[in-house]
Structure 1
């Protein structure tokens, strides 16, 4: 069995990987990295983001899996063309208030509860591994007082991918990390005791979802996801009621 000391570097690498995936995905989606453009070299990405070669390679692998980039051996990695068909998109300026965030959570509840149920039926071992990696990265981030938003979003995105229905994954991909309410409204430090307690509850809710998906229990997965997102919605509703 691995000791906590041996596991810590692995958890940190996973968290850094998800953070880099999120940043590069955002640059692809907002056009900073254009379709057909060659990504900077591994060394350049390492220098810019302050990460290791392992993190860069794992991040590129995940971007490939999400059909955002492709690697041409001996040439480099290129941004894939995104569809020209008008697609659903929520802009950051549409998520500036508590009411906006609650509206998005209502949408996510309707979509992600069914995604969790489908994932429970259709997931494979690879899907389970990346969900477990995302959960480990989330826990590592909150225990070390780092931003856990990228790992949080990655967990939900991987559930969408586990449906084996690209429309669910595309929907989550179009939202990006802004789908996580903390990315838009919350500024308190993760080290604060109340904040840490909340994030640990989120981790437990994630664990409940993953356990149901692992057991291929569609109804329990649906219920666990609904509970998780409804708790977030209700928490933000309390924020409205406390600010007349």
Structure 2
């Protein structure tokens, strides 16, 4: 039976409803380990949601370790012992852990941004724009912006047209996006940080839009390096 989610809900809550629906199927065995998930188009048709909602839901399922995407094949339910390389929550418990992941992302995502600038499609640009708008709305409303933040970076990986980039980033999941708050910051300081992050995202997008690979590479490196330095200062590191 087809299930149409309420069109009045925000995209973020629609994605969460879709996550819950698919998670229930996985837990009940309707989608067993090793089974391939329906295509994006099939999920969109069944649940009456947009491609953006489907992709955000799949990202959340990947972050939870319930599914993984295999390049050129599809997205599959993950069973015990089947997961590919991933970073567990235990590996993100300290600021030093988060800094280590940011160093990995700098190596991966700066080149992805350059390739995306050369190879992006109009659909890629629309998805990036949608993620940027969702991030800005979340910040303005005081909501968690991790979902659209990860969605923006994941769409850049997809825009490389090299499935390995998106597959690796998907396997890492949304948990690699550092939480914005760092303990003793004031609300004003946090808001300033999120607005600056939004501006950095916009610079990356603009370079990809212009199809300028060097500018895209530099903008992504600046963005991730700024995030790393912010956490280094919080951890009291100098190197």
TM-score (norm 2): 0.72
Tell me, yes or no, if structure 1 residue 60 matches structure 2 residue 33. Answer: no
The structural deviation recorded for 1:88 is 1.7
Aligned residue in 2 for 1:139:
136
Matching residue within 209, 216, 220 for 2:204: 209
- State the alpha-carbon separation in 1 of the partners of residues 143 and 20 from structure 2: 19
- State the alpha-carbon separation in 2 of the partners of residues 192 and 15 from structure 1: 23
* Corresponding residue pairs, total: 205
Q: State how 1:175-190 maps to structure 2 within 5 Å.
A: 175-182=172-179, 186=182
Aligned residue in 2 for 1:13:
10
Matching residue within 106, 110, 122 for 1:109: 106
Residues 136-145 or 233-242, more deviating: 233-242
Matching residue within 133, 146, 150 for 1:149: 146
Question: In structure 2, the residue corresponding to 1:164 is in which secondary structure?
Answer: coil
Q: Could you list the per-position Cα deviations for residues 17-47 of structure 1 after superposition, in whole angstroms to 9, with x for gaps in the alignment?
A: 56567x569959xx757433989xxxxxxxx
Question: In structure 2, the residue corresponding to 1:103 is in which secondary structure?
Answer: helix
Aligned residue in 1 for 2:43:
none
Tell me, yes or no, if structure 1 residue 218 matches structure 2 residue 216. Answer: no
**Gap runs ≥5 in structure 2:** 1-6, 39-46, 69-74
* Aligned CA distance change for structure 1 residues 229 and 34 (closer, same or farther; 3 Å): farther
Tell me, yes or no, if structure 1 residue 93 matches structure 2 residue 90. Answer: yes
**Gap runs ≥5 in structure 1:** 1-9, 40-52, 70-78
Question: In structure 1, the residue corresponding to 2:170 is in which secondary structure?
Answer: helix
The answer to whether the 8 A contact 1:160-1:168 is kept is yes
Aligned residue in 1 for 2:76:
80
- State the alpha-carbon separation in 2 of the partners of residues 109 and 167 from structure 1: 16
* Aligned CA distance change for structure 1 residues 129 and 174 (closer, same or farther; 3 Å): same
- State the alpha-carbon separation in 1 of the partners of residues 16 and 57 from structure 2: 12
Matching residue within 211, 219, 223 for 1:228: 223
- Cα-Cα RMSD: 3.8
* Aligned CA distance change for structure 1 residues 61 and 134 (closer, same or farther; 3 Å): closer
Give the 4+ runs in structure 1 shifted more than 6 A.
Answer: 64-69, 83-86
TM-score (norm 1): 0.70
